[in-house]
């Protein structure tokens, strides 16, 4: 395990103009009794992926609140990460051939990282399955150990879950991103929604000039309605269904469709889906299919901000944080009622839900016909994200959990 340094720090005070001074002051009030207490966060990667992205933001904010927090990254070889990747897919419901050697590799790498656990930490937060075995290094009942699961465990492969469950049951509690993603466990389970950072490159305000330059670069007409779906080229995101919905809308409105995402260059299946999408588009000049690099936050931000309506027509979804990103930008959203989307899109309050191609097209037509309703949904969506899905709310949840654990002793 290695201690990880955070590259880019944003002071808490910079969130005050967005959240209001009282909300920032509240974080300071909640953190006061936790000053100087030691917290250890452990995950399996320092860069790339949603967990590292969240920790990169969360750690400096907690440090600013004078919490003695440390972020450590577990070390593993290629064989370990191959095993944990297959576990990850299996826990999401993918196929997995049970293999005793995989379990032995998992145990062995967790054991090799034992001596790096900070035994003087009062709170130890272990992220995701990879380092879950570190619970075996706990000395008796010392400290408070929490397992933060960022993945969907609603339909796990039983062999993998049966292997992991005894580890998870030894923690003092578990945190999930949605009630739907949780399991029946003998320990308390808490709900922490995933969060976005309003000051990150993907979400911060952009000037109109930059947005205009991105539209120009991708040959998108700023004068006509823009419908956008940002997602990997993956069948579960139903990009073909989005094109079919667009074609219905196009009969009534002179609009454009932008399908933007990565995942096609390094994923054989992504390339096949991209090909299917191109065939479905059939050379329509008003459909822009944009293959973005894996990390293109400013382009994604600009495309979302330039959109008239943002679509997320997934067939299956994890939490679907691209929805929160669009809502934060005050965009009206039409999305499928799957996974974590209905938590973000409260039908007729913060966006519109649909269950089919035809329903998606109808809701888009409705919003294009009623821009005042679209604006109101976007405005309320922004407030919903501000209240429930920002990194500062995530921090508040951690503070509350630590206070609760302290007081239960």
Partner 1 sequence: MTSTLHAEQTPFSFFTVAYLTRIGNQCARNLTEFLKGLEECSDASIFHHTFQTLESHHFLTEGFSNDFAQWVLASANRDELAEQLAALDVRDYLSIAELRSDLRRVVSSYCLKYPNYANQEALEPFYFCESVEVTEPVGLTVNSLQGFREGIERLSHASFYFHFISSRLRLHLRTNDFSVWLENSLGLDRLANQVNRIDVYTNTLDGARARLVRLIALEEKRA
Radius of gyration of the chain from its Cα atoms, rounded to whole angstroms = 22
363 binds partner 1 (CB under 8 A): no
103 binds partner 1 (CB under 8 A): no
Task: Tell me, residue by residue from 27 to 66, as one string, x for binding to partner 1 by CB under 8 A and - for no binding.
Answer: --xx-xx---------------------------------
Output the smallest distance, CB 167 to partner 1, in A. Answer: 19
* Cβ proximity of 250 and 210 under 8 Å: no
> Which residues make beta-bridge pairs with 90?
none
- Nearest-5° Cα angle at 346, 343 to 348: 165
| Region of 40-48, 66-74, 94-102, 394-402 interacting with partner 1 (CB under 8 A) | 394-402
13 binds partner 1 (CB under 8 A): no
397 binds partner 1 (CB under 8 A): yes
- Residue 261 or 340: the one with the smaller Cβ distance to partner 1 is 340
104 binds partner 1 (CB under 8 A): no
Output the smallest distance, CB 34 to partner 1, in A. Answer: 10
* Cβ proximity of 260 and 228 under 8 Å: yes
For residue 177, give every residue at least 6 positions away whose Cβ sits within 8 Å of its Cβ, in sequence order, or none: 149, 150, 152, 191, 192, 193, 194, 318, 319, 340
Which residue from 313, 258, 324, 312 is spatially nearest to 285, judged by alpha carbons?
258
Q: Is 230 helix (H, G, I), strand (E, B) or coil?
A: strand
Task: Tell me, residue by residue from 299 to 338, as one string, x for binding to partner 1 by CB under 8 A and - for no binding.
Answer: --------------------------------------x-
Residue with tokens 């944003």: 10
| Region of 143-151, 213-221, 274-282, 399-407 interacting with partner 1 (CB under 8 A) | 399-407
* Cβ proximity of 377 and 352 under 8 Å: yes
Q: Pick from 114, 348, 356, 371 the residue near partner 1 by CB under 8 A.
A: 348
153 binds partner 1 (CB under 8 A): no
| Region of 14-22, 87-95, 322-330, 360-368 interacting with partner 1 (CB under 8 A) | 14-22
| Region of 20-28, 36-44, 63-71, 244-252 interacting with partner 1 (CB under 8 A) | 20-28
Which residue from 108, 168, 113 is spatially nearest to 137, judged by alpha carbons?
113
147 binds partner 1 (CB under 8 A): no
* Cβ proximity of 11 and 27 under 8 Å: no
Task: Tell me, residue by residue from 105 to 144, as one string, x for binding to partner 1 by CB under 8 A and - for no binding.
Answer: ----------------------------------------
Q: Tokens for 272?
A: 């096949």
353 binds partner 1 (CB under 8 A): yes
Looking only at the bridges linking them, the beta strands covering 256-261 and 226-230 are parallel
Coarse DSSP helix, strand, coil percentages of the chain, rounded to the nearest 5 percent: 50, 15, 35
CA atoms within 13 A on the CB side of 157: 17
- Residue 201 or 379: the one with the smaller Cβ distance to partner 1 is 379
Binding residues for partner 1, rule CB under 8 A, total 40
* Cβ proximity of 187 and 173 under 8 Å: yes
Please give the residue ranges that form the binding site for partner 1 (CB under 8 A). 20-23, 25-26, 29-30, 32-33, 176, 179-180, 182, 184, 188-191, 337, 342, 346-349, 353, 355, 380, 383-384, 387-388, 396-397, 399-401, 403-404, 407
């Amino acid at each position: 395990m290695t201690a990880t340094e955070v590259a880019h720090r944003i002071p808490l005070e910079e969130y005050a103009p967005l959240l209001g001074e009282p909300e920032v002051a509240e974080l300071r009030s909640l953190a006061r009794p936790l000053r100087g207490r030691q917290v250890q966060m452990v995950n399996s990667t320092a860069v790339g992926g949603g967990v590292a992205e969240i920790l990169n933001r969360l750690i400096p904010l907690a440090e600013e609140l004078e919490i003695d927090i440390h972020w450590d990254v577990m070390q593993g070889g290629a064989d370990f990460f191959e095993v944990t990747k297959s576990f990850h897919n299996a826990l999401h419901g993918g196929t997995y051939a049970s293999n005793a050697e995989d379990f032995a590799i998992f145990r062995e790498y967790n054991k090799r990282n034992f001596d790096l656990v900070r035994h003087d930490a009062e709170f130890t937060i272990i992220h995701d399955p990879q380092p879950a075995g570190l619970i075996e290094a706990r000395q008796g009942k010392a400290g408070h150990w929490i397992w933060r699961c960022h993945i969907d465990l609603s339909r796990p492969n039983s062999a993998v879950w049966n292997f992991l469950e005894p580890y998870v049951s030894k923690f003092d509690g578990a945190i999930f991103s949605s009630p739907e993603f949780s399991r029946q466990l003998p320990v308390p389970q808490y709900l922490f929604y995933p969060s976005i950072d309003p000051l990150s490159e993907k979400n911060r305000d952009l000037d109109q000039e930059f947005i205009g330059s991105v539209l120009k670069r991708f040959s998108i007409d700023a004068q006509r309605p823009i419908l956008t779906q940002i997602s990997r080229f993956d069948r579960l995101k139903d990009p073909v269904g989005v094109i079919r919905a667009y074609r219905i809308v196009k009969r009534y409105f002179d609009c454009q469709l932008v399908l933007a995402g990565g995942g096609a260059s390094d994923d054989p299946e992504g390339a096949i889906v991209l090909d299917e999408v191109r065939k479905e588009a059939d050379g329509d000049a008003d459909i822009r299919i944009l293959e973005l690099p894996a990390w293109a936050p400013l382009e994604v931000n600009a495309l979302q901000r330039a959109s008239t309506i943002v679509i997320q027509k997934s067939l299956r979804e994890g939490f679907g944080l691209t929805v929160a990103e669009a809502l934060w930008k005050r965009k009206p959203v039409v999305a499928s009622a799957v996974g974590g989307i209905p938590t973000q899109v409260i039908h007729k309050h913060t966006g519109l839900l649909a269950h089919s191609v035809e329903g998606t097209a109808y809701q888009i037509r409705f919003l294009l016909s009623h821009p005042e309703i679209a604006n109101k949904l976007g405005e309320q969506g922004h407030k919903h994200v501000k209240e429930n899905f920002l990194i500062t709310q995530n921090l508040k949840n951690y503070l509350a959990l630590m206070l609760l654990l302290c007081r239960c002793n």
